[in-house]
Amino acid sequence: MRTAEFISLYAGILVGLGYLIGSFVRSKTSGEETPELATIAAEAIVPMVWAAISFAVIDRVAPGTSAFRNSSAVGFLSSKALTVWESVALWSGLATVIGFMLPVTTRGRRGSGGLAGAAALLMTYSPITLLVSGGLFVAGSSIGRSTRVGVVAAAVAIAVTEWGLSIVDIQPGWGFISGPETSLWAVVMAGSLAAASLRDDPNADSGPQ
């Protein structure tokens, strides 16, 4: 139960549960009766909490001396590969954010824009990327006079900044190293945010995003 194969199974379960948790919480907080501040707080807190839980679970069950424990399968040959528990934390947290954006409980309707959850994860794992993308979000929203333009600008900044940090060998997070996997993670996050901002669902509600 503590072999590399089972760790992969546990990781998949944790990521899948993250998506379902995000979907469930979003369905419970997207109604008009829920205060907007509570909706934003839930979207920011839940992904971070689930990422921390995923980190702890994998750290507990990962085999102590194998290469699989020392680094994740993504970027395995890189000197900047993440440990397996860091990897699962990143992807579980992001899966939770995607659950908020595209909740399975409402068949993808009434999803949020994902900004609060993405910002919370970046604040935890890559604060420099958050600062750069946040600045471009404000600039894009002001110049383009549209939140959608700001989100797209921020999404591009997330992908480019994280990749740049991995190239210049800056360690911006709390012990995490920017590298191949964090760059891929940032690209997936950026694509998800951009897609959420560009979607045009006539059935979506006008509640808090």
pLDDT, tens digit (0-9, with 9 covering 90-100), for 68-106: 456 676 656 566 778 888 889 999 999 999 999 999 877
Residue 137 contacts residue 150 (beta carbons within 8 Å): yes
Enumerate residues 6+ apart whose C-beta is below 8 A from 155: 133, 189, 190, 191, 193, 194, 197
What pLDDT score does 208 carry?
41
Total-model pTM: 0.83
Model confidence at 49, pLDDT cuts 50, 70, 90, reads: very high
The length of the chain is 209
End-to-end CA distance of the chain: 41
d(CA 75, CA 70): 12
What pLDDT score does 207 carry?
41
Q: Is the pLDDT of residue 161 over 60?
A: yes
Please, how many CA atoms are within 13 Å of residue 125, restricted to the half-sphere of its CB?
32
Q: Does 31 or 192 have the greater pLDDT score?
A: 192
d(CA 58, CA 2): 10
What pLDDT score does 74 carry?
67
What pLDDT score does 28 carry?
87
d(CA 123, CA 51): 13
